[in-house]
Amino acid sequence: MPDQELTWRMHFMFGALAYTVMFGAHNDVTGVGTDTGDFRGRIDRLVTFLTAGFQAPATQSGAKQ
C-alpha cells in the first residue's frame, strides 16, 4: 500500500476511534438507538469496520501516487 494511502487510512481510523469513544452511543445519525453502556460492543464493531478498511484495495488516486 502506498504511504499516502496508509496515511489517509490512519487519519480516518483515528477520527472514527475518537468519535466512537466520545460520541458513538448517540442515535442522531440513523435514528436507531444503541446500547450506551455497551462500550466493548462499540469497540468490537469499530475493529471489524477498520479491519475491512485497511484490507481494501488502494483507491485510484492513492494507487497513482
Least confident window among 1-5, 35-39, 40-44: 35-39
Q: Give 23-35 pLDDT, tens digit per residue.
A: 765 555 666 666 6
At 51, the pLDDT band (50, 70, 90 cuts) reads: very high
Is the pLDDT score of 64 beyond 60? Answer: no
What residues does each domain of the chain span?
3-20+35-63
Predicted TM-score (pTM) of the model is: 0.70
DSSP string, the chain: --HHHHHHHHHHHHHHHHHHHHHTT--TTTS----TT-HHHHHHHHHHHHHHHHHSPPPHHHHT-
